[in-house]
Chains A and B, each alone.
Chain A
Amino acid sequence: MTLPAIRVRAVTKCYGALQALAGIDLEVAQGEFFGLLGPNGAGKTTLISALAGLVRPTSGQLEVMGHDVATDYRNARLRLGVVPQELVFDPFFTVRELLRIQSGYFGYRHNDDWIDEILHHLDLIPKADANMRTLSGGMKRRVLVAQALVHRPPVIVLDEPTAGVDVELRQGLWQFVKKLNADGHTIVLTTHYLEEAQALCGRIAMMKAGRIVALDTTSHLLSSFASRSLKVRVELGDVALELGGTAAGEWVEFGFDEPGEVEILLARLRQAGAGVLELAVGGADLERVFVEVMRRA
């Protein structure tokens, strides 16, 4: 049986009275594109930090590719690349110096071929000899990704990698990450951009208050929690809200599972005298699922 890329068993982390992780059990299979979602303070970054050895869990066990992150930290860390959430950099060095140094920390010298390849894929070649201080925020974000990949880890964790990043870079980054995933790398992604998670992740865990409150394939989450949506702009918005809709600006939104329900909804609106001015039907989206899961948890 193939080892999971990541295995988390009964992990808790307490900071005094605050329980940041309240008993997490999780397995991510090799080659998965896995999403870890949750509101701020849910414990996502704490879990990632525990996996990377940056935080010591109060109890429980974490493994990367079968290597315990505490007792066999050397092998575990060699197999893990982490793109941190904060835009941190060392102002003393150029991009290439930084990548060579990072490669050396992991025990690899003469790694320039791979470094050049990463620089090429992340469109960093023109900035290779620029000092980190001179780079824009987006460029610094790319360097963070490059640093996480410099030792060719089979498991890559991206902690909100597209926060504050322009559309062009975001698309380029996702192309590269999808290529890495296609090449066999396991990807774990945390993001607040739920449309990105929906488009990229095969499986998703949602966290709240240090617990996993939903864990399933993306398609199953979408089909089991919500539903598609009918948005209507009506003459009498209050009437539509009384029929169970939720306000969304000038629009009122209804969820539905079966297409036949649309006809019934429209008929009820007509009967109530809320003349429909415009309507739009939307597909199921992760944002609705997320809101629903967080509401129920």
Chain B
Amino acid sequence: MPEASPFIGFRTLLYKEVLRFWKVAIQTVAAPVLNALLFLLIFSHVLDRHVTVYGGVAYTAFLVPGLVMMSLLQNAFANSSSSLIQSKITGNIIFVLLPPLSYRAFFAAYVLAAVLRGLLVAVGVWLMSACFVLTPIAHPLWALAFAVLGGALLATFGVIAGIWADKFDQLATFQNFLVMPLTMLSGVFYSIHSLPPLWQQISHFNPFFYMIDGFRYSFFGQSDASPWLSLGVVSLCFALLAALTLRMLATGYKLRG
């Protein structure tokens, strides 16, 4: 046998994780795109004539970046968390634990695959939203930075949830009581300037707000908070969660008994 390469191990795990969601793309990519479009259809139909944001941006256009980012974040979380919990419950996680994969390679592969799924869904939502309204991206680099960092943050959170949870209902707790409320209350459907002062203040403690708001800046060049502040908050949150996850993996928490 030739010399074994650690990089091939990482690349294979990444490939396998991508193949895993791609083989069921109707469920993992097409369905979330449809969900986001239904949100867009209903909210824009009800509110477009009544609400304008940032002094002139139509509500439907305002909604698009928020929905794109919300879909990205939710699917990045769903990918890493569901892959891990399924592998743990069915027992096939053993095939990843027996080989000489480093914990860093393990982390990077799960997070990258989840980010890729999030980006695919995000691009799908954005392209399909053109059926309702055209929302060109004013600052593509900002969009890419927030998409990748936000996706990586939620993918990392998904790894933590997938490792920690022993049952599907424990994982659903993360999804239903953390990810979903924090996303919904992050300004996907509204500008926080439309909120009472107290709720505006509270919103600033929600990291999802910075991901959505920063991403929205890349479309309109306007946002509720400075994009630099948003980038800093998202980067810091990712760094903290990544450090925690790497620590969990290095010690074998709940994976190596």
The chain A residue with its CB closest to the CB of B99 is A105
Contacting pair A106 B252 (CB below 8 A): no
Contacting pair A77 B99 (CB below 8 A): yes
B16 an interface residue at 8 Å Cβ cutoff?
yes
B9 is contacted by which of A15, A56, A97, A107 (Cβ under 8 Å)? A107
Bound complex: CA of A49 vs CA of B11, how far in Å?
26
B residues 1-52 near A (Cβ < 8 Å) are: 1-9, 11-13, 15-16, 19-20, 23-24
Contacting pair A101 B16 (CB below 8 A): yes
Contacting pair A90 B100 (CB below 8 A): no
Bound complex: CA of A101 vs CA of B96, how far in Å?
10
The chain A residue with its CB closest to the CB of B11 is A104
Residues of B with C-beta under 8 A to A152: 1
A89 is contacted by which of B3, B13, B19, B92 (Cβ under 8 Å)? B92
A199 an interface residue at 8 Å Cβ cutoff?
no
Contacting pair A106 B91 (CB below 8 A): no
Residues of B with C-beta under 8 A to A53: 97-98, 256
Bound complex: CA of A52 vs CA of B90, how far in Å?
19
A147 an interface residue at 8 Å Cβ cutoff?
yes
A residues 141-176 near B (Cβ < 8 Å) are: 147, 151-152
Contacting pair A102 B4 (CB below 8 A): no
Residues of B with C-beta under 8 A to A103: 12
Interface residues on A, range: 35 or more
Contacting pair B98 A55 (CB below 8 A): no
| Residue of B8, B15, B100, B256 with most chain A CB atoms under a 10 A cut-off | B100
Residues of A with C-beta under 8 A to B96: 105
Contacting pair B23 A109 (CB below 8 A): no
Residues of A with C-beta under 8 A to B23: 92
| Residue of B1, B2, B98 with most chain A CB atoms under a 10 A cut-off | B98
B257 an interface residue at 8 Å Cβ cutoff?
yes
A residues 40-90 near B (Cβ < 8 Å) are: 49, 52-56, 73-78, 80, 82, 84, 86, 88-90
B229 an interface residue at 8 Å Cβ cutoff?
no
A108 an interface residue at 8 Å Cβ cutoff?
yes
Bound complex: CA of A89 vs CA of B94, how far in Å?
10
B177 an interface residue at 8 Å Cβ cutoff?
no
Bound complex: CA of A152 vs CA of B1, how far in Å?
8
Contacting pair B92 A54 (CB below 8 A): no
The chain A residue with its CB closest to the CB of B13 is A105
Shortest C-beta distance, B28 to chain A (Å), equals: 11
A106 is contacted by which of B11, B24, B100 (Cβ under 8 Å)? B100
Q: Mark B53-74, 1 if CB is under 8 A from A, else 0.
A: 0000000000000000000000
The chain A residue with its CB closest to the CB of B21 is A92
Contacting pair A102 B95 (CB below 8 A): yes
B101 an interface residue at 8 Å Cβ cutoff?
yes
The chain B residue with its CB closest to the CB of A111 is B1
Contacting pair A86 B91 (CB below 8 A): yes
Contacting pair B257 A56 (CB below 8 A): yes
Bound complex: CA of A260 vs CA of B232, how far in Å?
90
Shortest C-beta distance, B240 to chain A (Å), equals: 26
Contacting pair B12 A105 (CB below 8 A): yes
Shortest C-beta distance, B110 to chain A (Å), equals: 13
The chain A residue with its CB closest to the CB of B94 is A84
A77 is contacted by which of B19, B92, B98, B252 (Cβ under 8 Å)? B98
Contacting pair A107 B256 (CB below 8 A): no
Bound complex: CA of A88 vs CA of B2, how far in Å?
29
The chain B residue with its CB closest to the CB of A72 is B100
Contacting pair B257 A109 (CB below 8 A): no
| Residue of B2, B5, B257 with most chain A CB atoms under a 10 A cut-off | B257
Shortest C-beta distance, B252 to chain A (Å), equals: 6
Contacting pair B1 A108 (CB below 8 A): yes
Contacting pair B98 A90 (CB below 8 A): no
Contacting pair B252 A107 (CB below 8 A): no
Q: Mark B226-257, 1 if CB is under 8 A from A, else 0.
A: 00000000000000000000000000100011
Residues of A with C-beta under 8 A to B99: 77, 102, 105-107, 151
The chain B residue with its CB closest to the CB of A109 is B8
Residues of B with C-beta under 8 A to A52: 98
B90 is contacted by which of A77, A88, A106, A114 (Cβ under 8 Å)? A88
Contacting pair A107 B20 (CB below 8 A): no
A56 is contacted by which of B3, B100, B256 (Cβ under 8 Å)? B256
Q: 25 A-B pairs, CB-CB below 8 angstroms?
A: A49-B257, A54-B97, A54-B257, A56-B256, A56-B257, A77-B99, A78-B100, A80-B98, A86-B91, A88-B92, A90-B90, A92-B23, A93-B19, A97-B19, A101-B15, A102-B99, A106-B4, A107-B4, A107-B100, A108-B8, A109-B5, A109-B8, A147-B95, A151-B1, A152-B1
Binding site for A on B (CB under 8 A): 1-9, 11-13, 15-16, 19-20, 23-24, 87, 90-92, 94-102, 252, 256-257
For the complex of A and B, the 10 pairs showing the least CB-CB separation, nearest first, are A104-B12, A107-B4, A88-B91, A105-B99, A74-B100, A77-B100, A55-B257, A107-B5, A90-B92, A107-B8
Known: A54-B94, A55-B257, A76-B100. 19 other contacts (CB 8 A): A54-B97, A55-B256, A56-B252, A56-B256, A73-B100, A74-B100, A75-B100, A77-B98, A89-B92, A91-B90, A92-B20, A93-B19, A102-B99, A104-B12, A105-B12, A105-B96, A106-B9, A107-B8, A107-B9
